[in-house]
Chains A and B, each alone.
Chain A
Amino acid sequence: MQRILIIEDEPKAGEYMRSGLTEAGYVADVATDGITGLHLAREFQFDLILLDVMLPDMDGWQVMAALKNHDVPTPVLFLTARGTLEDRLKGLASGAEDYLVKPFSFAELLARIRIVLRRGGREPQPDLLELAGLRMDVPKRRVERDGVRLALTNKEFNLLHLFLTHRGQVLSRTLIASRVWDMNFDSDTNVVDVAVRRLRQKIDEPFSRRLLHTVHGVGYRCDDEA
């Protein structure tokens, strides 16, 4: 059970993150101001701190500096509404592990949290990914389902790899576009939908059980639940 401390002054925001993280299997605590957050971070053992920059009294930068002063080793992920390049650089320069600009997709937040926590724990990426009879051999770049070899293009392979490594998580189109195509902006094309549709034709349609699910309005999820 990994513990995450959320330092966020906006109660609704803190609450939805807490419940989302709890559902994702973490233990989450919320502090609504920097001083309380700093106190909790020093008193208890957390695996990660989500730190909002705009806080009353003591802002995120100051909390970060205080954490460093007190030698708190917990990795920090900044959350902020200010997305200028200068802010990003300032966040990373202050010793934060990562930096997310509001509004962000929750899937993106989960993905970043996993990456940060993995960095500490060195959890290697598995070479073989399996889900309901679908097997992906990453080094050989081979995919088969129920023993049938599936011919995927490079992009389709990368897309499926992304889904299999984020099993059960809803992935937004933006997140998929940035991970698979390195397009970090919204061009508002249906690129992702087209790609998912083509992947579906190959890995789902010939088989009885569907693995790729559309989550209306949000994005896509890959799991073997109906």
Chain B
Amino acid sequence: MSRFSLTARLSIILAVLTLTVMTAVGFIMYRTLERQLMVRDDGALVTRVEQIRALLHDEDVLDLIHNKPQLFANMLGNTESLLVLRFPGRTPLIEVNPGNSPVPDIAAVPADGKLSLAAVHHRLQGDTPFIYTAAQARTTRPPYRLEIITGRLMMERTRMLASYRNQIFAVVAGASLLTMLLAGLVARRGLLPLHRLAAQTGRIGSKNLSIRIDSEDAPRELKALIDAFNLMLDRLELSFTQLSQVSADMAHDLRTPIATLMGQTEVALSRPRPEEHYARLLGSNFEELGRLSKMIENMLFLARAEQAGHAIGRVWLDIGDEFATLNDYFEGPAQERDLGLAFSGAGRIYADPQLLRRALANLLANAIQYADAGSTVTISAEHQAGHTTLSVSNLGADIGEEHLARLFERFYRADASRTTANQASGLGLAIVRGIMTLHQGGWRATSAAGQTCFQLTFPHGERRHDDDGRENGAEAPAPIERP
């Protein structure tokens, strides 16, 4: 069935339905007519016997037969009928049998008995029904009983019913065909919106992702589909724009160190230099190359982090141990800036150890860089139902509202924004976001009254997500909405 078009399918289904219903109706009508005709014919036979009974009543049968033989033949009036008059067990006094039907042998209804339709018997003669009955009549001659056996071959009725049946067949077949044609037309008309939708969809490509399907005139059934499709286009367009933006940003960001590399190497090679000059140049080149390499590494990491279902090795980690590792690592830089590191919270967290450390290190590196000298950077863990929230906060200049929302974007830089983790790449917080996406968790930044706080939410297990990686967990802190 799946080979057929929707139109053909609908037409065929409707035609089959019509065929079925009309066949059933035709059959019922045929049967009803047949029954009514049978009752009519049986009644007519009974009436004829009654007439003959009345005729013979107290008559001298032999006289009657002798004098009025035509009477009986007339009574029958056609070749389909049979009439036998006889004294019981004797040869017939009269036998009218133009159709040569075999004379049935049945018990006759007694002379004083009432004749009813039940006394009429049916049999098939060839393919034609034959109805017959027998009754006794009172006569004046001994044995004062005369048997009337009469019957009728229903040829005319059979013909009529056959023609009626053929008419029904013709009507059913015609109606089914007509239905099929009309259904085809109707279905085609009905499916026009689908064809239009297909045509409109076909026009959308990467060059004009901003086209939206108009659902104004669409039938209600298609509205939901069109709306969903338009939403998908919205998401695609956004991703596409972001992707183009990222490619452009990336090219721009790669261009800077490469320009430096080429420029300073070219200048150095343009004339002979003392040896230490070359050594310094190589060192500087090595630094630039390291920066490039790191940026590429981070871009690859982000690309992988955005692949849905990218596997990470989550285990239950002791928060105290993780905090100790971080403290070890950042103690030095914090002391350099006369900062305290205050860790609070205990228990366990469900995360990939390397990724967790990387995310926290990025946040902590920022906090240490931007905290007011002499203040304390606090790192805390809090458990709520189903997830654990880690916060890194510091005292320092506020980050403007307009930057907060875009802080986690790739290559987003603003004077006051903190993207120095992975310095000069602007990827530090994007990597934090990537890591949280992989963990199906949440991320958030707040900054007010001289306190800036970054929060990461780690769920205690797998959870379902919408496709752009944002939280569905209502209990988690709301992540930053993406633009």
> Which residues of A are interface residues toward B (Cβ below 8 A)?
83-85, 103, 155, 177, 181-191, 194-195, 198, 215-218
Contact = CB atoms under 8 A, between A and B. Distances in A.
Interface string B292-307: 0110010010001000
Interface stretch (B358-366, B377-385, B408-416): B358-366
Contacts of B287: 217
Interface in B334-386: 335-336, 354, 357-358, 361-362, 365, 368
B283 A215 contact: yes
Contacts of A194: 332-333, 335-336
B316 interface: no
A181 B362 contact: no
B333 A189 contact: yes
Majority secondary structure, B binding face? helix
A108 to B, nearest CB: 12
Given A189-B361, A217-B282, A184 B336 contact: no
4 closest A-B pairs (Cβ-Cβ)? A217-B283, A194-B332, A216-B283, A187-B361
B332 A198 contact: yes
Contacts of A191: 329-330, 332-333
A195 B361 contact: no
B329 A181 contact: yes
Interface stretch (B107-115, B228-236, B251-259, B418-426): B418-426
Nearest to A101: B297
B419 to A, nearest CB: 10
B456 to A, nearest CB: 15
A80 to B, nearest CB: 13
Contacts of A190: 332-333, 336
B369 to A, nearest CB: 8
B285 interface: yes
Contacts of B304: 84
A170 to B, nearest CB: 10
B284 interface: yes
Contacts of B361: 183, 185, 187, 189
B300 A83 contact: yes
Contacts of A216: 279-280, 283-284
B286 interface: yes
A189 B304 CA distance: 24
B293 A103 contact: yes
Nearest to B334: A194
5 contacts: A187-B365, A191-B329, A198-B332, A216-B280, A218-B283
Contacts of A83: 297, 300
Interface in B303-341: 304, 311, 325, 328-330, 332-333, 335-336
Contacts of B151: none
A61 B279 CA distance: 38
B328 A217 contact: no
B428 interface: yes
Given A83-B300, A188-B428, A218-B286, 20 more contacts: A83-B297, A155-B328, A183-B361, A185-B358, A186-B294, A186-B297, A187-B362, A187-B421, A188-B294, A188-B365, A188-B421, A188-B423, A189-B330, A189-B365, A191-B330, A191-B332, A194-B333, A215-B283, A216-B283, A216-B284
A61 B400 CA distance: 52
A171 B329 CA distance: 18
Nearest to A82: B300
A186 B291 CA distance: 10
A178 to B, nearest CB: 10
Nearest to B311: A85
A188 B283 contact: no
Contacts of A182: 325
A192 B284 CA distance: 18
Contacts of B282: 217
A81 to B, nearest CB: 10
A23 B377 CA distance: 46
Nearest to B284: A217
Nearest to A104: B293
A181 B328 contact: yes
B434 to A, nearest CB: 12
Given A85-B311, A218-B283, A186 B332 contact: no
A103 B420 CA distance: 23
B355 to A, nearest CB: 9
A33 B449 CA distance: 63
A32 to B, nearest CB: 24
A35 B374 CA distance: 63
A186 B330 contact: no
Contacts of A215: 283
Nearest to A103: B293
A186 B422 contact: yes
Contacts of A186: 294, 297, 422
A24 to B, nearest CB: 18
A125 B285 CA distance: 36
A155 B324 CA distance: 12
Contacts of B421: 187-189
A195 B329 CA distance: 9
Contacts of B300: 83
A217 B279 CA distance: 10
B280 A187 contact: no
A32 B420 CA distance: 41
Contacts of A103: 289, 293
Contact of A185 (B286, B289, B325, B354): B354
Contacts of B294: 186, 188
A216 B279 CA distance: 8
Contacts of A184: 354
A185 B358 CA distance: 7
Interface in B239-295: 279-280, 282-287, 289-290, 293-294
A225 to B, nearest CB: 15
A85 B428 CA distance: 21
B168 to A, nearest CB: 71
The CB with the most chain A CB atoms within 10 A, among B289, B311, B358, B428, is that of B358
Contacts of B357: 183, 185
Interface string B386-427: 000000000000000000000000000000000011110000
Contact of B285 (A84, A188, A198, A217): A217
A188 B422 contact: yes
A188 B368 CA distance: 12
